[in-house]
Amino acid sequence: IGSQWRHYAECGSTSDLARSWALDPEAPAPDGAVVTADLQTQGRGRRGASWRAAGGENLLMTVVLHPPYPVSAAWRLGYVAALAVADALAELGLSPQLKWPNDVLLAGNKTCGVLVETALLPNGEWRAILGIGVNVNQTEFPDAETFVYPPTSLRMASGRTFAMDEVRQRLWEWLERWEDIHRSAGDFDPIAAGWRRYLAVGAKVRRGGETAELQDIESDGAARVCLHDGTFTVWRTVDG
Ligand code: BTN
């Protein structure tokens, strides 16, 4: 990860720039190429949400990957990325937890979100456009109370300020490690096992308008949840 790296002071979305680079016929982004920015004006999240982050204090990055597996397995990368973030944060002395499908929590609040997109090449190959946003040193979040999982940052959770280079470097290392493991395994099992070490058991998860408590991660990435009436069920898709 990071063999080629483009950094921007400001951009719309690093995922848009990464996509154009991946599709550039002259000099396409290689496997592991990274785009980062200090500030995004059009940062986006899952479900059409926007991703707002103050400039210079947060990690905003998108990685282009050339996965050897079929595009139908692209969803696994959201779990690979969240797990890599969790290991990087643990190494920095924090106590992250993972919440289905792809969020990283610190003390129950959201510090990182992941957005998996794909790009199809004219020759039929595909690329993963893996967007990761980590709140690092930001301490004021407008409208924080309107979120189900209010935003937090590494600094808010620990009282320490972090060097952006170090957070980025550790994340790249863990991402490379986990994606290597994932590629050689050829299935989701090692990622599911990694997830269980950090799983936010009992955390409130949402699908459509429904909420439930997270219990476990299945071998296909589905969430085993407990509903309000105490029954257990499996949520296989994110959108109901
Ligand atoms: C979510 O939790 O909804 C996913 C948020 C993903 C945000 C990152 S920041 C870098 C990359 N560029 C974007 O526009 N989005 C992702």
The domain tally of the chain equals 2
**Any atom of ligand 1 within 6 Å of the Cβ of 115:** yes
In this structure, are 222 and 189 located in the same domain?
A: no
Identify which has the larger pLDDT, 98 or 236.
98
Q: What is the DSSP letter of 68?
A: S
In this structure, are 158 and 110 located in the same domain?
A: yes
Q: What is the pLDDT of residue 209?
A: 82
Query: What confidence tens digit (pLDDT) does each residue in 120-159 have?
Result: 999 999 999 999 999 999 999 988 878 878 999 999 999 9
In this structure, are 75 and 127 located in the same domain?
A: yes
What b-and-e string marks burial along 108-143, b requiring 16 or more CB atoms within 10 Å of the CB? ebbbbbbbbbbbeeeeeebbbbbbbbbbbbbeebee
**Any atom of ligand 1 within 6 Å of the Cβ of 44:** yes
CATH number (domain holding residue 45): 3.30.930.10
Q: What is the pLDDT of residue 9?
A: 97
In this structure, are 26 and 97 located in the same domain?
A: yes
Q: Atom 9 in ligand 1: which residue has the minimum CA distance?
A: 133
* Token pair 């969240």: residue: 82
Q: Atom 7 in ligand 1: which residue has the minimum CA distance?
A: 133
pLDDT band at 238 (very low <50, low <70, confident <90, very high): confident
Query: What confidence tens digit (pLDDT) does each residue in 67-106 have?
Result: 999 999 999 999 999 999 999 999 999 999 999 999 999 9
Answer yes or no: are the C-beta atoms of 97 and 203 closer than 8 Å. yes
**Any atom of ligand 1 within 6 Å of the Cβ of 36:** no
Please tell me which of 42-51, 113-122, 144-153 the model is most confident about, judged by mean pLDDT.
113-122
Q: Atom 14 in ligand 1: which residue has the minimum CA distance?
A: 43
The CA distance from 103 to 111, in Å, is: 8
Q: What ipTM, to 2 d.p.?
A: 0.99
Q: Which amino acid is at 161?
A: T
Q: Is the pTM of this model over 0.90?
A: yes
In this structure, are 101 and 168 located in the same domain?
A: yes
Q: What is the DSSP letter of 145?
A: G
Q: Atom 16 in ligand 1: which residue has the minimum CA distance?
A: 131
Helix axes 164-185, 76-91, angle to 10 degrees: 140
What's the gap in Å between 44 CA and the centre of ligand 1? 5
Q: Between vectors from CA 168 to CA 98 and to CA 173, what angle results, nearest 5°? A: 75
What's the gap in Å between 16 CA and the centre of ligand 1? 11
In this structure, are 115 and 191 located in the same domain?
A: yes
Q: What is the pLDDT of residue 148?
A: 77
In this structure, are 191 and 213 located in the same domain?
A: no
Mean pLDDT to the nearest integer, 113-124:
96
* Residue numbers of the domain that contains 230: 201-240
Answer positive or negative: Cα dihedral of 140, 157, 225, 237. Answer: positive
